[in-house]
Amino acid sequence: MHEHAVATGGALPAGGDALLTSGAFARRARLSPKALRLYEQLGLLVPDEVDAASRYRRYHVRRLADARLIVWLRRLDMPLAVVAGVLAAAPADREALVAEYWDQAEARFAAQRWVAARVRELVSGHEGGHPMSQEILTRDVPAQLVLTEQRHVTPEELPVWIGEAMTRLLTAAGPAGGPSAEPFVVYHGEINLDSDGPAEVCVPVDPAHAAKLDVPAREEPAHREAYLRITKARVGFPQILSAYDAVSRWLADHGHTGTASPREVYFTDWDNAGPDDEVCDIAYPF
């Protein structure tokens, strides 16, 4: 069998329905027996025939194409759960799924490149400075009644969850006349590969109409906060971390201590904002 035809999903020679033992199949697919057993357990390469007495497993020759596809996808560091989705898709849809995965991978690599440059600055002791610090302002925020949703989330889950939670809370605020101030997201803990927050989405409402509401609410204490206004282009992770660093450094440079968790305050229509439009304040109560 020509390796090129198998690896690319091309035409197989006659005999595609012939059965191979698991050992022969593994050798032809260039898989270790351990990998073949793993793929069987995960439902990626289930045997076509299992002998009732001997429990020998056999695979049709035509399954070699999927076996080699798995090998190629794993060379892209594609998680097995995503590999399963590609295999389950119609042949015409597979290319789009691979392209989507790789677009996401390149975005992750770009983010990691930015983080690596930042870490190199930190460990070298030659930080590039924070030119944004001159843009930091302060303001007094009154006590507010806020509708809230709080959740432990992964970095991948965070953007979708914020959007969905914000939509639910804005809808819930309707009986109280809608939001009384800008919605915000409080980060009670770091959200990264090792920490899942939690994050809390908050929508302020008029306390006079609290009796009309049937969702969790709490009082956000009055406070003074330092904040930095950023554009939509700067909200993306990890670039947004520079804004957090800038406000944190400003507080330290001015002898202030944070008194509550940092937050992102959203004050405009996100969906209709352009990359250069200001959409968000990175704020630290102090």
Q: Are residues 141 and 267 in the same domain?
A: yes
pLDDT digits (tens, 9 = 90+) for 197-209: 999 999 999 999 9
Range(s) of the domain holding residue 40:
3-88
pLDDT digits (tens, 9 = 90+) for 108-136: 888 788 778 878 887 887 765 545 556 89
Longest dimension (CA), the chain: 78
Q: Are residues 213 and 74 in the same domain?
A: no
pLDDT digits (tens, 9 = 90+) for 217-276: 999 999 999 999 999 988 887 888 889 999 999 999 999 999 999 999 999 998 899 999
Q: Are residues 263 and 215 in the same domain?
A: yes
Q: Are residues 102 and 78 in the same domain?
A: no
CATH number at residue 37: 1.10.1660.10
Residue 142: the pLDDT is 97
Domain termination site, one of 88, 115, 148: 88
Long-range contacts of 234-243 (CB under 8 A, 24+ apart): 235/264, 235/279, 235/280, 237/111, 237/155, 238/111, 238/114, 238/115, 238/118, 239/114, 240/282, 241/115, 241/118, 242/118, 242/130, 242/132, 243/132, 243/282
Residue 128: the pLDDT is 56
Q: Are residues 7 and 36 in the same domain?
A: yes
Q: Cα-atom radius of gyration of the chain, to the nearest Å? A: 27
Q: Are residues 64 and 194 in the same domain?
A: no
CATH number at residue 235: 3.20.80.10
**DSSP letter string over 44-81?**
SS--SEE-TTT--EEEEGGGHHHHHHHHHHHHTT--HH
Say how many domains are in the chain: 3
Q: How far apart are CA 29 and CA 26, in angstroms?
A: 5
Instruction: Work out whether strand 278-285 and strand 223-231 pair parallel, antiparallel, or are unpaired.
Output: antiparallel
Q: Are residues 63 and 171 in the same domain?
A: no
With CA atoms as reference, report the closest residue to 166 among 146, 137, 143.
Answer: 146
Alpha carbon of residue 9 to chain centroid: 31
Q: Are residues 80 and 139 in the same domain?
A: no
pLDDT digits (tens, 9 = 90+) for 129-169: 545 556 899 999 999 999 999 999 998 899 999 999 999 99
pTM: 0.65
Q: Are residues 142 and 259 in the same domain?
A: yes
Q: Are residues 137 and 259 in the same domain?
A: yes
Q: How far apart are CA 185 and CA 270, in angstroms?
A: 14
Q: What tokens were used for 62?
A: 């035509």
Percent of the chain at pLDDT > 70 equals 92
Torsion of CA 158, 159, 165, 170, to 10 degrees: 150
Q: Are residues 229 and 113 in the same domain?
A: no
Q: Are residues 108 and 62 in the same domain?
A: no
Residue 68: the pLDDT is 94
Domain termination site, one of 107, 126, 145: 126
